[in-house]
Amino acid sequence: MATLHELVTPDSIRLDVSAGDWREAMRAAGALLVSAGVSDDSYTESMIRNVEENGPYIVVAPGIAFSHARDEDNVHRTGLSWVRLQEPVNFGHESNDPVVLVAALAARNSSAHIMATKQMAALLDDPEKREALRSAATPEDFRAALQ
């Protein structure tokens, strides 16, 4: 299984993105997956429906959302994108709002999803890594913080 660092390229990271709400933030992250050839637009809409139906459980740490959905033949390969928002948005999470970092994972199968989720948990458990993601000056610096 690829590491988080390997799943994301500098082209799948956007810093200081403007988003009016959580849906726009997720669409920005999903658009990066689409432009990288990882998934289709329908996958992005599935990620949004996932939150609408199940609530903001994807806001996994203070200020950080980890969006994903089930592959319904709309994921071409496993990949990850990241968006850092210019201004935080609320997802409706009781303790982890507002969100400034949105990761979008598209996984081809459940084992890839589980491995990426475990790696994400380890990353987010490290306060220094979280701060490096929040303060990265360039997509390359952001990607380096994922190692």
Residues designated catalytic? 68
Whether this prediction's pTM lies above 0.75 is answered by yes
* 123 pLDDT more than 90: no
* 77 pLDDT more than 80: yes
What does the alpha-carbon distance between residue 116 and residue 126 come to, in Å, rounded to a whole number? 16
Q: Report the chain's mean pLDDT, rounded to a whole number.
A: 93
What does the alpha-carbon distance between residue 9 and residue 12 come to, in Å, rounded to a whole number? 5
* 147 pLDDT more than 90: no
Domain boundaries, the chain: 4-137
- Here the tokens at position 40 are 């289709």
CATH 3.60.15.10 matches 4-137: no
* Residue 101 buriedness (CB in 10 A; 0-12 / 13-18 / 19+): buried
Summarize pLDDT for 43-65 with one digit per residue, the tens: 999 999 999 999 999 999 999 99
